[in-house]
Structure formats: C-alpha cells, structure tokens
Amino acid sequence: MNLSAASMREICRRAIAEDVGSGDATTLAILPAELEITAHFVTRQDCVCAGFPVLQVLFQEFPGAVVLEPHVQEGQFCPAGSNLASVRGCARTILTAERTALNFLQRLCGIATLTRRYVQALGDSQTKILDTRKTTPGLRLLEKYAVWAGGGQNHRIGLYDRIMIKDNHRELAKLCGPDAIPHAVQACRQHYPQLEIEVEADTLEDVRAAAAAGVEYILLDNMSDAEMAEAIRIIAGRAKTEASGGITLERLPALRHLGLDFISVGALTHSATAVDIGLDFLG
C-alpha cells in the first residue's frame, strides 16, 4: 500500500497542531536555536518496523532542519535493542517532534507486529489476512499501511470502494419486499455497476442466496469451522470467501487449510499494543 505525500502531510499537520499549538514553551525557553544534536530511535521490544515514511514527512513540517536516517526496512523484524533510525539536526525540532514521532512509530510498529503474528500463524496456507474498517478515526490510511508492512492485505478503504451488504442492510432491505439479498444485490449493481459486491452471510441460507446472486465475495460471519467448510462447498468457486468474527490467533491453525480465500481481523488495528520505542539523545 502506497501512502501519498499529501495524505501524510495532512495527518502530520493535524498531529502537530494538536500537540505543539502556538509553540513548545519548554523547549523554546531552554534550548538555543543553533544547538544541533543526534538521537536514535531504539526499540525496547521485538517488533516489525513500520512508520518511517510518516516520520520523514513529520520532521519536514518543522522549521529547524533535521535529517532522518532509517537503519532498517519497513516490514523488517527488529529484535529488542535495535537502533531503528537516527535523526540529526536542530535540537529544538527533534525535541518538539519527539512525542508525535514516537506516537506514530509505536502505534504503527504495534499493528505491523501483531499482523505478522497472524500471518505467520497461517503458515503455508494460501489464505490471506485482511484488515477491516475498525481503525482510529483520521488514521485509517496509516494503520492500513502498517497492516501491509506486517504482511497482511488491505480490505476496502472505506464505504466508497466496495459494496458490502451487511446484516443491517439486509434487514432494512426486507422492508422493500422478500428476498432481501437478491433485491439488495440488484439495487447495488444498478446504482454502482463499477464496484465489486460482498455479502455478509450469517447462515448457510444466506450463503446460497448470495452465491446465486452472483456476488464477488461472501463473508462468512461468526460461523463454526464446520459451517464454513459447508459454505465453501456450497459456493463452489462462484465467489471469493472471507471469514470474519471470532477469529483468534489460536483458531488460525484449524482454518489455514479450510479453503478460505481471506480471513479479516479487526483486532489488527483496534487491539494492537503499541511497541515500546524510545528516542535516545547523544551529544
């Protein structure tokens, strides 16, 4: 997943405005403008690295010149104690940007690290791990980037780039008459013919209706392993399959050779723990 410079600038400017406001009073009072230093981003935990493209943009948004030099690649596993990157230049800029930079880096490395654990739990399976829209408001692009860096794949970005007919859509579609799934699929094809369609199926009857309607994806929601195996048999290649709901690391070994195309996991973004990373200053 590529992050555009424009999207990163917008996110960084909001973060700077939130934290710095009219100025870093403490740093401006203590440090002379001409002081230059070197500092290192050091991880205190094993992690998968993600986020330095964002930090490159972040430091450019400050008036004092600094140079950020990553020492690792995005998506690289880094053991505890690794020096992830160095930053050299204006001390005021580095100290003022420190917390915002660490907030981004710790959060994105946490998501990438958790994603890697899910990907590795699938072993040699052809099934792919997907993220969801359960992201921090305003940070979706960054968090989905971190999933990609961790070896996962991105589901739809928002409500606009894929049709997903969920349970509430189906329930409300029933107000328009019986056969809610065929009705909803037909309406979506008519209004947005350029978009692929996914139907969330709670039961095997939903699966049959979605497959018959000719959708591109069928989401098997909160189904048992046996129910998913039967759903895959019913679909018989007519649509891509996605499992979601109740997916844990411990459950993945039982699912990896079931024949699923995708497994989506909201926990990748809504429950990832930030990695403990520090900024160590040198003279």
Residues forming the active site: 99, 134, 166, 200, 221
CA distance 183 to 258: 30
Torsion (CA) 55, 58, 59, 62 in degrees, nearest 10: -170
The overall longest dimension of the chain from CA atoms, in Å, is 73
Give the torsion sign (CA, 152, 103, 47, 246).
negative
CA-to-CA distance for 120 and 10, rounded, in angstroms?
Answer: 33
Distance in Å from the first CA to the final CA of the chain: 37
The one-letter amino acid at 183: H
